[in-house]
Structure 1
Amino acid sequence: MPRFLSMIRNDENNHPAGGPSDALMEGMGKLIEEMTEAGVMLETGGLLPTSKSARVGQRGGQIAVTDGPFTETKEVVGGYMILRADDLAQAVEWSRKFIELHEPEWEIACEVREIVGA
């Protein structure tokens, strides 16, 4: 069965004051439990802000390391889910359920991609 990476993207400079609500955290816990019991959720996690990260890149054969935050980046990967699903449509459906948990003040998206060779 294929595996998928659902990259949870958000604008880390535009989170609701006070962070996630208790209702959102409770809903996420229930959804993660449901996904785990269904055999879909393989792994999930949140990521620290870009201010505590680094970017390693190559251009013209030169390696460069840039410490965060990355001011030119509006939308960042703030978390991830690794899912086991029958197909892309099923992985998208689970990601949609995750997005639906968030209150309207959250600007959030999931990019869902199949993992090669999974």
Structure 2
Amino acid sequence: MRVAVLVKATKDSEEGIMPSAELMEAMGKFNEELVAAGIMLSGTGLKPSKAGKRVAFDGPDRRVIDGPFAETRELVAGFWIWEVKDMDEALAWVKRCPNPMPGPSEIEIRPYYEMEDFAEVESPEGHASHQRAAEALARRENGAA
């Protein structure tokens, strides 16, 4: 089961306040444990929303919205992508995580949709397209062009 583990933004992270050396060290050690356990597939911190953009969709129309974005509690400051056996394993790992922010913070765990979740609504053409994209990504990850 793949999950996105989302570190929620705080006022400090949105102001660009950098973590302490101690927190960076603790998070580095935690990441090493995740990698050694075969859990962590990817992860990184995100710059404050003032460096970001959103694109709003309405039918064929697109509208670009410049950051910063107002609702800090709804923003993500960083993430991991994990492969776990189930939600209980993901929860156990998150509970071991150092507090990712200097003050109160939250981490959200969201399971991925897998292609089999779309079996009832996916056309053969759609399935083939997604399969080709997945194969191209796998080749890229393995160093082939």
Instruction: Give the alignment's TM-score, normalised by structure 2.
Output: 0.68
Q: Which has the higher helix share?
A: 2
Structure 1 counterpart of 2:104, from 98, 107, 111: 107
Q: CA RMSD in A?
A: 2.3
1:14 is the counterpart of 2:29: no
Q: Which residue does 1:5 correspond to in 2?
A: 4
Structure 2 spans left out of the alignment, 5+ residues: 116-145
Q: Which residue does 1:74 correspond to in 2?
A: 72
Kept in 1, the 8 Å contact 2:34–2:40? The answer is yes
Displaced runs of 4+ in structure 1, greater than 6 A?
none
Q: CA deviation at 1:4?
A: 0.5
Distance 1:85 1:105 in 2: 27
Query: What amino acid is the match of 1:74?
Result: T
**Bigger CA radius of gyration:** 2
Kept in 1, the 8 Å contact 2:16–2:48? The answer is no
* Per-residue deviation, residues 45-93 of structure 1 (Å, max 9, x unmatched): 01111111001112465321100011x2122100000011110111122
Q: Which has the higher contact order (CA 8 A, sep 6+)?
A: 1
Q: CA deviation at 1:115?
A: 0.9
Query: What is the percent sequence identity of the aligned residues?
Result: 30
Distance 1:6 1:31 in 2: 14
1:116 is the counterpart of 2:109: no
Aligned residue-pair number: 113
Distance 2:2 2:16 in 1: 34
Structure 1 spans left out of the alignment, 5+ residues: none
Q: Which has the higher strand share?
A: 1
Kept in 2, the 8 Å contact 1:3–1:83? The answer is yes
Q: Secondary structure at the match of 1:108?
A: coil
